[in-house]
Structure 1
Amino acid sequence: MTRRGIKKEPPERSPLSTSTSVPATASSASNNMGPPSKKPRNEDTVDAQSVAVSFIRSHAPSAETRHHLVIDDDQEPIYLERRLCGVNDLGGSPISSQAADTSFAHTSFSHPTFTNIGVKLREFNNTVGSLQQLGVSHVAELPELVLVGDQSAGKSSLMSGLARVDLPCSAGVGTRCPLHIRLIDASNGHWSCTVALQLDYDFEPKGKIKKSDVTANNPFPPWVKKSHRDNKIFKTIFDPTEIEDVLRWAQVAILNPGNDHELYIPGEGAIAKTEDLAEAARNSAAQFSPNIISLEIKGPELPGLSFYDLPGVFLSPDQEEDEYIVRVVRNLTSHYIKREGAIIMWALPMNHDPENSISLGIIREAKAAQRTIGIMTKADKLAPENKTQWLQMFHGEKQSVGHGFFATSRPPGETLESASTWEQLFFARERATGDTWPIEFEKFNHRCGVNLLSEYISVQLGNAFAKSLPTIKGKVYTRLREIEHQLEGLPEIPYNVEHEVKNSLYQFLGRMKTAIKDSEFSSRWNTLNNQFRDIIFQIKPTCRVKEPQTQTIDLSDADTEVSAVTPSRRPRPSDSTMRGTPNKRPRLDEVPVTPVKNESFSGSGVFHASPVVSTGPTVDHGPFVSFRNLGRLAMDIRDIRSQVAKKQRPGMPRDLVPDEVRESLCLDAVKKWREPLEKYIDKTAELLEAIAHEALEESLGVLRRRLIFRECKSHLKEFIDELVTDQRVRLSEIYDSETYQMYVLNEDTFTRYRAQELEQLRRARAIFRLKGAALIEWSYEIKRPEEMSNEEKDREAKILNQQLPKLGRDPYDTEIEVAAFVRGYYRTAAARFVEGVTMNVNSFLFRRIGSTALDMFMDRKLGLFGQSGKFSPNTVSENFVLQRYFNRTERVYTPHGRGRKDRELA
């Protein structure tokens, strides 16, 4: 160990005062409101060990020994203690004794050993920028610089000066989403800028947004936080003049998350080539985004710096419907300011009253004033009468912030070089014309100008990272241990991977073939078939029987439901009616209103309708319940009469109904099957997917965390989707056949159904007419025939036989016959349709599942078969490629030899 004396240089000439020197701590630098002192304080020097990337002690004096070396008297020499290290700075070989006995030049401040401290500071800042781009804040909070300010605070010009590039200063860039700018000193001397989109939020619009929608739990509607960050490279440019155009289009891309961002790349994307930029910006899907546009700028002599630029906060939007954006921008600013590691750069213009700053209020609410650097912009706009107020702020007497204030002046519209020269002359009070910097501020010249501000914030960011590095490292290692613990829970790799996977897949394919024949699945599918059948018969067209001057009987639901709608005033019978009416009207037992008919299914496969009226809806229609009223009031006897009259040729008898009228009514009735059929196909597909998932879980459940499980699940869904698409086409053809034209081959069944429907309609019509003529009680309602006793049936038949002749022939008898024809045909076609649909699903869709179609499909996707073409769990084929799914894992060796685990790669 040797000692050498070095004469201490004046502070202003020390390399430690430059941007490449040892950074000053936040506490000393922030409190330096006056001229710099002649003697640096002890805490102004950071231990080189704490800032070294390799964590190896450098040749600079350490924090432990420095207090022994500082001499208060400026004229006294400083003795530096030089220690021998086991390894050199770069982690190389041990230092030899010859290397230890070096000349004075090797220990002077001009030696690269000391200037490397500034290089390491730059490396720190570059590392911070890299970590910020990776989005690891959920693991460890990183130190960061955040530029905030009100609208029109001069942030754009300030940002251009800090980034050393001409960024756009007009409205429209950086005002509708945050910017992250990272500056890197390029060793090759070439300038480049890579623009990327950092997507932390998903766009989920749910109608028009109101101010009340912006809450603490939903701070940025309609944007929702994602579980991870997506980084999308937008464009890399090599000409600084292109940066404005690229930035504007990047903002349009980030505000249209539903479109591929590549569509907006200038000079390449289809939208950027064909649409005007201003028009594209106006038509953006979102008005604002919390997602980030990232700029990684590399160039010669750039400071190692990274910072966020946030949209300017404001109070009133241009449009009333955008009031919510005021709160959203405020929430975004508060979100960044509240981060404990954030160093706030608060921009406030000197031509405005600082007491009206909205940003200052947000800073104080977050209790972040001590982490704030005040930046007075537009210094050339300072009004002489306001000098006292701003001097007080420089002295820390008003709007005090922890790091004090800097002043800048960057005239808009100037190039970067011109603006820098203009600013230097302005603060040096050397401008020939115009306003100059007041002489009262001369003692704060060490805090004036963007260049000095850039050096200061670079040092502050490096200091913050150096101090937080142990904490960050600890959190990363803690998270790493958590992940390793989770990995230990993963199963070991099978001894024979191919055999295990093949065997599991063999079981899966076999399980799929038997699953569709299991009683459980058959029961579930049969229930769906019954519900489909019931809803098809439920929507049989009902008929409204109504005459203009009388009451209405609604023949609705699945059969001849009769609703006796009692008029507001009971009609007074005519004299002729009274003469034919006994003194006491016949009274029949009252029964409840009976809206739904009971339909039964015979063993022969033909649906038979009981000529009765049910007591209410007892059928569970399941997923088809929303269709139960499709056939309600589909016909009206007056409409039928109108259609017959339109289609009859002159001179034809009124009772002769043209065939086209009957066919038109029949086809209109069956066309209502489209929606129930689509629902049936969807529900059948859901059942199939459910049993497929169950089979997959039973057979490959042990490989659930493996890529092979996800691949099989994806391929299986693709296979089912293809089958269901083909099945949908087949069923659509059946539907088209039914709606193409009326077709009856089984005339016996049709004749029987028509007779049943005609009997029910005539019975209902007869009771309607008798009520209208006041020949029976108004309270009379129809009972289901099977619910009536023989005496009740005889009594009703006797009354109908006695009273109906008094009314004469029914004027709507022909229309009643047509309605019965339509309903009879509907029942005949419905039985044929339901049976055809369900049989087609069974013979095509389920048969394909039970055949080798699935085996062949999985073979194309995964390579399951050997050269023989037969699948066997014992087959080991050279072209078997399932091993690749295990090769797509990362092998992790756990500490202390506890065995190896696999970690799937993202």
Structure 2
Amino acid sequence: MTRNHDSVKYERISSPTISVRSGTMGPPSPSPRKRKTPPGDFLESQSVARSFIRSHAPSVETHLRRDDETEPMFMEMRRLPDSFRTGQQDSPVSQNADASFAHQSFAHPTFTDIGLKQKACNDTLGDLQTLGVSHVAALPELVLVGDQSAGKSSLMSGLARVNLPRSAGVCTRCPLHIRLISSRIDHWSCTVSLQQDYDFQPLPDRKPKTSDVTASNPFPPWVKMSHRDIKTFKTIFDPSEIEEVLRWAQIAILNHKRNFELFIPGEGAVAKETPLDVAARETDAQFSPNIVALEIKGPGLPDLSFYDLPGVFQSPEKEEDEYIVKVVEKLTLEYIRREKAIIMWALPMNIDLENSICLGIIRKAKAAQRTIGVMTKADQLPSQNVHNWLAMFRGEKPLVGQGFFATSRPPNQPLEDATKWEELFFGRQVDGNSPWPIEFAEFADRCGVERLLKYLSRKLTEAFAKSLPSIKETVYKRLNAIKGELDALPELPANVEHEVKKSLVEFLNQVKTAIRNTRFSSEWNTLNSQFQTCIFKMKPTCKVKDNTELQTIDLSSADSEAATPSPSKRPRPSDSTVRNVSTPTKRQRQDNITTPVKHEDYPMGGMSRASSVMAAPDLHLPSPFVRYFNRGRCAMDIKDIRNRILRNKRPGMPRDLVPDEVREALCLDAVRKWEEPLDTYIIKTTELLEKTANGALEESLGVLRRRLIFRECHNYLKQFIEAAVAGQKSRLVDMFNSETYQLYMMNDDAFHRYKALEMEQLKRVRGIIRLKASTLLDWDYSAKRVEDMSEEEKIKERKILDTHLPKLGKDPYDTEIEVAGFVRGYYMMAAARFVEGVTMNVNSNLLRTFREHQLDVYLDDKFHIFSHCDPSLYAELMEEDDHTAKQRQQLKKEKDKLVRAMNSIIDLESLSGGTNGANDFNRAGGTSTIHSHPTIELDSEMEEDEF
């Protein structure tokens, strides 16, 4: 009969002899004896064994029990924490250590009984570690650390129950991961694989230095990869071959850039032609953070997995390898810092504890509470040091949180005798010069590799069971994220031509819909209103004051269209109002306002509204035309107008006769300032059009963003827009040139209405200036904006002007005022015509191009959407760059690993009895319909949860 699981229950021990209950076995020997078992016992052990393997058979909890049946072996493990808590045969350290684990609870009822299934738990944990999902979810793990020559190799051989290499430097140049699996098949096997998480990127001209080892680059010249590559090196069936295979596996992992198959012993060319010691000296790298993994299966093995790290040291053989000291320390620190790692600290009993380098690293990582001290070389304990080591067992020196174990595996003892020898040694039944001191008898339950194995297996199981709910949730979230990333990187469709044409037709329809959409229309109408407001605000203002006139008045901001800034204020000394002279602040405020006249608010003109464009909306969005608003400030001056008239008048002409050249020149000067705002309008319209078209492209072809068709379509769309905008700009420039070519009007009625409005404003401001200068109007009088005045104020002001202006006689600048009114009236008429024409032209030409079929014809010429062509064109359009293909492949690999991990977890849930793990997963908010390994279906419900 094959050996059952290591479910040995240890009772109170008064001697090192192990008490073994019926149905369990002691430590394995090289030739295990087969025990005669009663039929009942045999059936029970068969049932129990069956409960720990993954199957869909009913769990042990469904088995009808009989009164005469003994309990399953693992049920006895429940009482181990109790014995620790009662303090029987245990030190204070071990009490605290076990209590810290025993009180851990599981967040989900599904996991309540998982702690009883040590084999299943450790198998699942080993699966997850092998798959390399620790980058997604932190996994509980055992990590063996220690200084060089601390006896780790002998300890590791004892834990793995196989003769691992013990000579110096064999397995100290990379981490080792050992997974032990108890098998019901009566043969032994070991699969060695290379787990590559780092890429080798050496410097071209030198070896690494200690200064190259930094927090961001801890293992130069190795650089972290985005995924793990697992390469199966070799499977062997003879334990005597393991040393040679391990040596060559390490050589392969240190030659990262070369094909690993060259180094497979008995198969690879290098392994056949080069001596092993020569190949070990000629590796590309001196050290690697990549992992050599061993998966060992066999009867009687403990179900356990652990990492063995290179021993830390201080002085390398060669000075040029000084950086490796720091690299090994960084590697050890990285593993120890993992919050769910259970640390096994190997410390030999033949040296002083104060010399341990590893203890400093454990303290630096603040990992002492997660650390188990494993004393090695107990057979070499100097008698003078007994008190110090005994104090550590008793917790008088609380160096670690999980207590200490003692082991003794002398290298001269063959593996098949090591377990028995160790049992006899700690039982003080071995003759020699250094017998095990009697003082340690009270800690017999913590002496020996076999007891350490059971302790480690239980602690790892409990830690994993506690972490399982969060691991499952984290893995699921990452699966969901990968699904989204893969959705953005779709595979090549089966019917490429159909998919290409369908996508392009959808894009063309999206463009037409978007241009007709109210959102685009709203944004474009806003831009049109902002353009209109800008053109109106650029109306030329006029200085209506002659500097020779005595001017001591202040014009409010209301009349800025007829601005009258004064360089100096010289009131008459006898003027009683001199103290009320306006301040420069008010005058500055006046100069900054150029709001066009809103004639509908002026009650005295009796004019009807000239054009709907005069009522520009009050926009809340920032206008791109603000910088042009003051371009019309002080464009005219009554004295300048008079000088122009005099320069262009022919002799003998009447004074009030103004040459046409003067009027036309002033009008064209005003409209020439439209050129820059027009350019801005074209740019902003183009930007809006590009944003809308590109949005349609993203919506219809976004999933193909990484394929050639998307880039080609984007480029052709850009070319089409540029050509359409160039044609539109040419038409608008022609319109601008027409406005600046010569003065032109056909709508006399509109012109006269605009002119009348402007004349009233100019005459009002000019009249106030003349009355203040003649002291006929109070110096304190402030001219308000007409629209801000009440009816009473308007009537009062009109009465003052009508009463006093006739007393001053004819205005000497009435001709110049009339010219200014003419120019401003023409400007308003031309501005309304220009804005209306520009926006209408864009709508009926540029936007029409996208609303109708011009873009369809253009893209059909490029892609043959509505005609036939060589099918290879469509295959070419669906090509993608190498980076995208590689990214998809990596995501698919990661998804496959996580799917297998999730299925392993769900198998473990279902094994716990009574509850289906997948159903629990769905009730907990998951979307898995995961079934047997290795398939997983997540799509259907994930889409519903995406909202």
TM-score (norm 1): 0.48
Larger RCO: 1 or 2 (CA < 8 Å, sep 6+) = 2
Structure of greater Rg: 2
TM-score (norm 2): 0.46
Q: Identify, as 1 or 2, the structure richer in strand.
A: 1
